[in-house]
Structure 1
Amino acid sequence: MGMSVTISAAAETDAEHILKLQYLCYQSEAELYGDYGIEPLTQSLADLRAEIARGPALVARLGDEVVASVRASIDDTGTARIAKLIVHPRMQRHGLGGRLLDAIEARYAGDPAAKRFQLFTGHRSESNLRLYRSRGYVPVSREEVGPRLTLVTLEKETSAGAYVASA
């Protein structure tokens, strides 16, 4: 019998597992852009623990193993910034990234402070761009951060943001 993947809030005790998974998952991004100094590969355990404490942060588990994670924060403009959506390479292309994205968005459902969701990825990260577009995100800006990397920022309104806008 196969195990199913469960999604739950990340705990401080998950931090080491998330950091190891993050390091594994961002290797392909670093290779794609020729830059192994990207922040997800240099983030400290202390910084990650602080992010988890600020929350929300989610993990997906297959049994006891953390196989995916995502974090978010909301700023004073009502932008919920979604960051570091990672899925173990052996678990990719099975819908888990989309499930995590839906779950982190659901954390802001009904929160009147949340007006929009925002995330970013590199311009060559086609599978990321495809996932985000399939979930209703649209590109709103591009920023060249180096000779090989342009960050694409994508946004979509929250249900609460759409409701307020139509009132």
Structure 2
Amino acid sequence: MGMSVTISAATGDDAEKILKLQYLCYQDEAALYGDYGIEPLTQTLEALRAELAGGIVVVARLGEEVVGSVRGSVDEDGTARLAKLIVHPRMQRHGLGGRLLRAIEERLAAESEAKRYRLFTGHRSEVNLQLYRKLGYAQIGSVEPVTRHLSLVHMEKPAARPETYAASA
């Protein structure tokens, strides 16, 4: 009998699991841009714990194993900033990234005054860009150069009201 993936709020006990998964998941991004000093690979456990305490973090679990995660927080102007969407490499291309994004959007809509969702990814991260477009995100502004090899694409979509999610569930 196979197990199904469940999505729920992260707890403080998940911090180390999320950090290890994050390190694994960002290896391909680092290789793509030739930069192993990117923040997801250098983030400390203490910094991740602060993110867990200061925002909303959801995780995908396969049994007890954390196989995905995404983080979000809402600023004063109602912009929900989504970050570090990660899915274990063996679980990719099965819709889990989309499920995680929808879950964090639902939580942020229900628990805050989010007016829009905003995220970013690298300009060469074509799989990420395709996923975000499929889920209704559109590029805003111009591509932001960061290094010789990396530019960021910022994307946004309007927040749906919580009753919209309930109707579509």
Q: Same fold (TM over 0.5)?
A: yes
**Identical aligned residues as a percent:** 68
Conservation of the 8 A alpha-carbon contact between 2:71 and 2:85: yes
Structure 1: gaps spanning 5 or more residues: none
Distance 1:129 1:117 in 2: 15
Distance 2:91 2:112 in 1: 34
Aligned-CA RMSD value: 1.2
Output aligned runs, 1:75-86, within 5 Å: 75-86=75-86
Distance apart, 1:77 and its partner CA: 1.2
* Cα distance per residue 1:79-112 (max 9 Å; x no partner): 0000000000000000000000000000122456
* Cα distance per residue 1:22-49 (max 9 Å; x no partner): 0000000000000000000000000000
Distance 1:108 1:86 in 2: 18
Distance 1:154 1:60, change over 3 A: same
Distance 1:110 1:8, change over 3 A: closer
Distance 2:111 2:23 in 1: 32
The aligned residue for residue 153 of structure 1 is 154
Moved more, 106-115 or 65-74: 106-115
| Residue 12 (structure 1) aligned with residue 20 (structure 2) | no
Distance apart, 1:18 and its partner CA: 0.3
Aligned letter for 2:14? Answer: D
Distance 1:143 1:157 in 2: 21
TM-score after normalising by structure 2: 0.92
Aligned letter for 1:149? Answer: L
Output aligned runs, 1:1-167, within 5 Å: 1-110=1-110, 113-141=113-141, 142-160=143-161
* Secondary structure, counterpart of 1:21 in structure 2: helix
TM-score after normalising by structure 1: 0.94
Moved more, 109-118 or 25-34: 109-118
